[in-house]
Structure 1
């Protein structure tokens, strides 16, 4: 695909705009030196709409635009369950998890584990998350985005990754979360509008120029199998989305683990002005989540109906950009894709730096580090993380057919353990530190064993089995320790009655989102 001069101007102009905005919002008032709260939590001053926009911009990256469109091409609308279930999960996190986090005054998820359990859990999970962000999250976003960028600009994947990394570094490393969050507000606008334009044009192409609505109707008639939200066992992709498990099984574990206990997601919420602001922000993000399948899944289905000439599923979205989007709009559509990549890259870099700086460097390497040193270390870690991701991305992911499914499966090895640690840490005062450590250690081995013993079992079902095993482990171990010691741990979370109260605006928004989600499943059952 070749961009016209106008497309190039739009695309390059967008990159320059993001860098300029990131630098401008990063400036501090005269006489104020940026401290760790400024750098890692945006001075705790984010309003609800910035939180919601930043959450979606950080979440929707190339793995959705390219990876989920590829899964839309292969599987169909069913893959959108990850988005629809996420909308409900965001409401649960807003009501039941974040009020506790904000009450405890934490900066990082490992810090909560230290407060609830001990430093062993904090350090081991901190190291794990750093490795996950660098070798899974950063690498997949870089690689999938570079895949599209290389097709558009006719450059190598390595060159494309270096270019993306350079832009992300240019605006995010200096300003920290403040630069990331405020540029995300701009990026989510480009992401949604630019993505919608591609969807409308793809549907119009399906209808032969009779409009997007006619194109959608034709999709329903031409490829009805691509609109099954719940797959049956005869479907060749049943192992990826195993029927009712989507609604009542392992997908909840994946979603709650991601949205409730994930540093680069929760970090935005921790930067809120108040609990009310964060709950409004998450309900806004939940609403946007309902729109995302229109942007990232429908194009893949349209590409399938158009008999896209591709060699692998993840080429569906780049094929649309190349063959369907006209000159003058390609730059905007491509800017939407790059917006998704840049927002996720900058978010992951910042969260990796936050965990390393506060949970490794300050906690163990230099406890007396001053604010200036913490900010400097954070910037250096961000830079090192993106450099490592550039080096390992292609060797790790070059042979994968559906990278979105690759991400879900291998993060699923740890999601059940993380969920058990946090849910029992938050809501069961009898949970002991030793039981939590045993659960953390057992998480990956249990997942591997279940995978080996039941290789034909869908990975979402495997996650459910592992969750039950780990739940049994943490309960039995904790009760045994409590009986031996004769007491329960003193560092349990004190939950007050008023903590989970929500206002009318949040309640109305939550009801609307639940009803819309239910309607979607009823219509496309």
Structure 2
């Protein structure tokens, strides 16, 4: 509400203001938008669940993001801003063909409808029911309660996105960030006090000396995140997520210049290094409190409602609600961006039908409502997934993320690979990955499978490029709309961030706390 009140006079009269906040975001808003669009109820609920059921190996998703973000900051963002693009499929349209850009836009939209938006709504509903026990209050069964909560959250999120646009999302993300870090410190504090019967240091002693296997971030083959996957599929997934995922990249494309975008990414990296306080430590504390939970996905809200004073429990609930809404909003906004700019507007131009900014904005808002309704219908059915909610989310993402990154990567490193190679590569990757996950059990971790398919698909695309090269090699056509002078001191801060990333893994390892 605070961000809406602050920006209520900003009229969304152009697509640039609705989708890219007039390309005028400073580094704190860029960093806040990046970090807290990423940290949502799916990550809060999902990572704490896996920390509770397994160990700290799940923290690798967030901690290794630092390396991926810094690579994106150094190599991809300068190129994106030089091209002046508004969506990542815009790059594919320029590099390959309009058809490839439209195809990837459709793949993005499918991934948002079937995975991103429903998972955020579902995890938010699970968290709220765990905190406030709505099933008991309303005298409804669990299934019905989840349905009701999903529709309440989805309706509020859709309304907020329609009224505020990207700037409101970025501002609310930054305000939420301050609340998340405060909550990230408060919940472990109260959890340790509860564990130590009122003495936080006694609780810390218990945490560090009992069930020490849960302190280990170096995952084994039986863990959800085996350590070897950090160097194969996880690196590719993180590069895709921070460098290609539209609802993430859109936060950075709205920066006022390259310097602010690189500073904003560094701020987000620092936030990812601190985020285990909220994403993993509560799960560790819960190991010592709950011997069994029927639904481990409720571990975070149940811990909060048990150990926190009522006003703190309410505060954490507000943070969880905000985390769900901001990511949901960002997904809706990016969905309408992709649809209007990459599908609807080109289609109207092809049919020689005139469009105005007003009509396109109206279409974008109608499309957001449609996407919202679809997501709210799909979300409740996530209750039936097996092997952990967060593992399911990441596995389904594999149908969309690395396949898109693969054709992006080949576009970056080659100049003559044609559009047909991108289409064949995308289709081959998605179909083959689907067969390995739904038909044939290869007994190989899905992250390793993604890395194997990445190499094979790159080989196929390279071979097609050799046989049927583009007659005219691709070259960048500069169209920068902002200053592209890089941040002068970035290398010093980047080195510090990478060192801190390595130290986090050493701390939570058999060489550190998990002896």
| TM over 0.5, shorter chain | yes
1:347 maps to what in 2? Answer: 330
Q: Deviations over 1:227-253 (max 9, x none)?
A: 2222233xx42xx2123222x211101
Is 1:227 aligned to 2:209, yes or no? Answer: no
After superposition, where does 1:163-312 map in structure 2 within 5 Å?
Answer: 163-211=152-200, 214-233=202-221, 236-237=222-223, 240-246=224-230, 248-312=231-295
Q: Deviations over 1:324-366 (max 9, x none)?
A: 1112211111111112111111111101111111111101145
Structure 2 Cα separation of the partners of residues 308 and 176 of structure 1: 44
Name the Cα RMSD after superposition. Answer: 2.1
Structure 2 Cα separation of the partners of residues 318 and 401 of structure 1: 20
1:159 maps to what in 2? Answer: 148
1:390 maps to what in 2? Answer: 376
2:13 counterpart SS class: coil
After superposition, where does 1:329-408 map in structure 2 within 5 Å?
Answer: 329-365=312-348, 368-408=354-394
Runs of 5+ unmatched residues, structure 2: 139-144, 510-515
Q: After the TM superposition, which of the residue ranges 416-425 and 261-270 deviates more from structure 2?
A: 416-425
* Residues matched between the structures, number: 492
Q: 1:453: how far off?
A: 4.7
Q: 1:26: how far off?
A: 4.3
Structure 2 Cα separation of the partners of residues 298 and 103 of structure 1: 41
Structure 2 Cα separation of the partners of residues 263 and 480 of structure 1: 32
Q: 1:134: how far off?
A: 1.4
Q: Is the CA contact 2:78–2:484 (under 8 Å) kept in the aligned structure 1? A: yes
Match of 1:93 among 32, 57, 72: 72
Is 1:465 aligned to 2:452, yes or no? Answer: yes
TM-score by length of 1: 0.89
Q: 1:524: how far off?
A: 2.6
Q: Is the CA contact 2:247–2:334 (under 8 Å) kept in the aligned structure 1? A: yes
Q: Deviations over 1:59-86 (max 9, x none)?
A: 1111111111101111221100000111
Tell me: CA distance 1:366–1:331, structure 2 relative to 1, closer, same or farther (3 Å): farther
Q: 1:27: how far off?
A: 2.4
Match of 1:522 among 506, 509, 512: 506
2:163 counterpart SS class: coil
Q: 1:396: how far off?
A: 3.8
Is 1:65 aligned to 2:44, yes or no? Answer: yes
Q: Is the CA contact 2:126–2:297 (under 8 Å) kept in the aligned structure 1? A: no
Tell me: CA distance 1:501–1:274, structure 2 relative to 1, closer, same or farther (3 Å): closer
Q: Is the CA contact 2:84–2:478 (under 8 Å) kept in the aligned structure 1? A: no
Structure 2 Cα separation of the partners of residues 380 and 370 of structure 1: 15
Match of 1:127 among 106, 115, 135: 106
Structure 2 Cα separation of the partners of residues 359 and 503 of structure 1: 31
2:164 counterpart SS class: coil
Q: Deviations over 1:359-412 (max 9, x none)?
A: 111011456321111111111111221111111111244444511100111111
Tell me: CA distance 1:40–1:454, structure 2 relative to 1, closer, same or farther (3 Å): same
Q: Is the CA contact 2:30–2:170 (under 8 Å) kept in the aligned structure 1? A: yes
Structure 2 Cα separation of the partners of residues 476 and 216 of structure 1: 57
Q: Is the CA contact 2:263–2:487 (under 8 Å) kept in the aligned structure 1? A: no
Q: After the TM superposition, which of the residue ranges 501-510 and 162-171 deviates more from structure 2?
A: 501-510
Structure 1 Cα separation of the partners of residues 403 and 484 of structure 2: 25
After superposition, where does 1:72-151 map in structure 2 within 5 Å?
Answer: 72-151=51-130
Is 1:36 aligned to 2:21, yes or no? Answer: no
1:34 counterpart SS class: coil
Tell me: CA distance 1:196–1:339, structure 2 relative to 1, closer, same or farther (3 Å): farther
Structure 2 Cα separation of the partners of residues 89 and 428 of structure 1: 21
Structure 1 Cα separation of the partners of residues 477 and 23 of structure 2: 23
Tell me: CA distance 1:360–1:119, structure 2 relative to 1, closer, same or farther (3 Å): same
Runs of 5+ unmatched residues, structure 1: 1-17
Tell me: CA distance 1:501–1:82, structure 2 relative to 1, closer, same or farther (3 Å): farther
Tell me: CA distance 1:216–1:363, structure 2 relative to 1, closer, same or farther (3 Å): farther
Q: Is the CA contact 1:52–1:284 (under 8 Å) kept in the aligned structure 2? A: yes
Is 1:54 aligned to 2:25, yes or no? Answer: no
